[in-house]
Structure 1
């Protein structure tokens, strides 16, 4: 019985690892142009070429990476809400097409924000471990979580773009006790995988981070629903 239980747990773990591997592989495939340019940064001959490559990457992000990541979140949502389907690529492609325009709009919005953040940080000449450094660190965490909440909200709720932006903004700022643990868990996983082996990081990180963030997003939504039901019961 003990052996059977261990085998069952090992099988479940193997199944999850396989699913994450496939999901991450699909995501990397759809991100191939951006991934290729990111790798090419290690081989640019001059700093100027590096800046040009970075500029091209930033321009491509809204049109390639954001729709691909939205579809990855859609796949994670399907698994978290326990909707069974073996047609992962077909489902991914469906989510990709259905949310492409909204994803691009979100990409343009967030890439602009990230660009402004980078320029502002560069001009501020922030010193490590200074008060301003920690301010930017917290701001980065919130901005990143806002971005991730947008991906999750896009595949979870059929609402307008600006409504989603406002909603996820308040989620990122209003639920710091969820924001920090989600980011912490995702960061620990990404760092651990990279330390284990960079190739393992490439194979799993995207899907695991998406899973962590959508799970956190789902917890916030469920908490809001419970509060709403409680208020309705109190009014009755």
Structure 2
């Protein structure tokens, strides 16, 4: 039995687990540091920025420094983006609840279309932060392109939605584990499928340009 290979694999496993746990602790700490409301979106963007580097093979990056650099650089812009998404989500939820509880039958006809709109919005929102950290775009472009990528990649979108709700469901049975593994696992799934979608769209665009 090759014990050196086994020990090497075990070391890499524990190294990955410790990095993931550190990333989640940073995400929680810097979310709180920004008073929650103002810290959540920069901390989430920073977490996704670190995860993106890992997915593309940059395993040896300094986690704390990379996180902090992204947190500072994107603090204002990520809060603006997050504020827009949050406001749109609140409006949609308010409209949905209003129509759901209204007695007017003419307005109740809007229930199904609004439900579809809410589903599309939630699906698009999964791509917003990955798009934000993957490309250097203006906020409007991030939102617009997130929608198009979502439409063009239904399998990845479905996988992200199911994976995220699956993690949340599993963690609901073990809340203490969420301190070390919650946002990081969601970021891993979302960034992994988003990266595949971005690469696929990029390959298609390159192929289209070559054909012109």
Kindly state the Cα deviation for residue 164 of structure 1 after the two structures are TM-superposed: 1.3
Kindly state the Cα deviation for residue 120 of structure 1 after the two structures are TM-superposed: 1.4
Contact 2:48 2:133 in 1 (8 A): yes
Structure 1 residue aligned with 2:16: 16
Contact 1:142 1:179 in 2 (8 A): no
CA distance in 2, matches of 1:27, 1:21: 10
- 1:80 paired residue among 43, 55, 60: 55
Q: Deviation per CA, 1:9-32: give whole Å up to 9, x if none.
A: 433332222111100000000112
- 1:198 paired residue among 175, 187, 194: 175
Whether 2:6 is the aligned partner of 1:29: answer: no
Residue pairs, 1:1-236, within 5 angstroms = 1=1, 4-32=4-32, 61=37, 63-125=38-100, 139-195=117-173, 197-235=174-212
Evaluate the alpha carbon distance shift between residue 4 and residue 66 of structure 1 in structure 2; reply closer, same or farther with a 3 A threshold.
same
Kindly state the Cα deviation for residue 202 of structure 1 after the two structures are TM-superposed: 3.1
Kindly state the Cα deviation for residue 222 of structure 1 after the two structures are TM-superposed: 1.1
Q: Deviation per CA, 1:65-96: give whole Å up to 9, x if none.
A: 11111111111111111124442111111111
Structure 2: give runs of 5+ residues left out of the alignment.
Answer: 102-108
Kindly state the Cα deviation for residue 136 of structure 1 after the two structures are TM-superposed: 6.2
Evaluate the alpha carbon distance shift between residue 17 and residue 32 of structure 1 in structure 2; reply closer, same or farther with a 3 A threshold.
same
Contact 1:24 1:204 in 2 (8 A): yes
Evaluate the alpha carbon distance shift between residue 162 and residue 7 of structure 1 in structure 2; reply closer, same or farther with a 3 A threshold.
same
Task: Provide TM-score, normalisation by structure 2.
Answer: 0.84
CA distance in 2, matches of 1:121, 1:96: 34
Task: Provide TM-score, normalisation by structure 1.
Answer: 0.76
Kindly state the Cα deviation for residue 108 of structure 1 after the two structures are TM-superposed: 1.4
How many residue pairs are counted as aligned between the two chains? 207
After superposition, the CA RMSD in angstroms is 2.9
